[in-house]
Copies of this chain bind each other. A is one copy, B any other.
Amino acid sequence: MKWKRSERLVDMTRHLLEYPRELIPLTFFSERYKAAKSSISEDLTIVKETFEEKGTGKLVTVSGAAGGVKFIPKVGSADVQEVISLLMEELGHSDRLLPGGYLFMTDLLGNPRLMDRVGKVFASAFAETEIDVIMTVATKGIPIAHSIARHLNVPVVIVRRDSKVTEGPTVSINYVSGSTRRIQTMVLSKRSMRSGQKVLITDDFMKAGGTMVGMKNLLEEFGCKLAGIAVLVEAEHLEDVLVDDYLSLVKLRAVNEKDRTIVLDEGNYFAEGGN
């Protein structure tokens, strides 16, 4: 059955969105739709222009025999700003305040639509960076890690606090927690990563950055390289943060448990050239 252009556009859009950062040969589309490559090229031009105009992402064309087309998720600054504002509004509610000055964020991390947007925002910032793996530590960073990973089309590895039989042989390290100065352990399955891979670290919250340093040390044990750090919320910290380059969406400036006030600011996403 021959497809009409309108049907091709719908199915092509669906396919490109479902397979981000994957090189799709033009022959795949021309065989699927029983259409000439010239028609497919015209279709792709329409998709490309619409995607770029509406801030969905870029379509990159690779020419030559091994060529094809690749969808790179990219959000516009206005969309990033909207996600940041939404997070700040949500996080500013005084009923989020927990003993010790922590913020309740579990509901936000359990919102798949919000996590999808956060993931796309970070994937967008790292669109031009070589990344092979996303790393996070259990439990709260996992939704963010998976969302970034889906938009970047790379696997997720999850660092744990304790070793489990289902992980197989593991590599473990000790590190000093930045704020409490306690010695803690991190464990990662040996099969998780290969030497030479480039790793993006992510987590939901960062204060002194001790957990980040732990993950950095752990990936070095695997012979891997740090490609970047993405944090949903960073908290004001008196001393220097233990890691240099990171992107954050929101900064928690201060909490007052007595007055039950929360002071939030934008993170460094735009300042650090995230978009």
Question: Which chain A residues have a beta carbon within 8 Å of chain B's beta carbons?
Answer: 5-7, 9-11, 13-14, 17-19, 46-47, 49-51, 53-54, 56, 98-100, 102-107, 110-113, 115-116, 138-140, 142-143, 146-147, 149-150, 153-158, 160, 165-168, 189, 191-192, 205
Contacts and interface: CB of A to CB of B under 8 A. Distances in A.
A160 B51 CA distance: 40
Contacts of A139: 138-139, 142, 158, 160
Contact of A165 (B7, B46, B99, B115): B99
Copies in the complex: 2
Nearest to A43: B6
Identify the interface centre among A98, A107, A113: most chain B CB within 10 Å of its CB.
A113
A157 B107 CA distance: 8
B156 A143 contact: yes
A106 B165 contact: no
B149 A104 contact: no
Given A139-B139, A150-B112, A165 B100 contact: yes
A192 B106 CA distance: 8
A147 B6 CA distance: 29
Contacts of A146: 112, 115, 142-143, 146-147
Given A106-B158, A139-B160, 6 more contacts: A13-B14, A99-B165, A104-B167, A107-B191, A138-B139, A139-B142
13 contacts: A7-B49, A9-B10, A9-B13, A98-B166, A103-B166, A104-B189, A104-B191, A106-B166, A112-B150, A112-B156, A139-B158, A140-B166, A143-B156
Given A112-B155, A189-B106, A6 B7 contact: no
Contact of A166 (B9, B105, B150, B158): B105
Contacts of A49: 7
Contact of A155 (B5, B17, B98, B110): B110
Nearest to A167: B106
B153 A104 contact: no
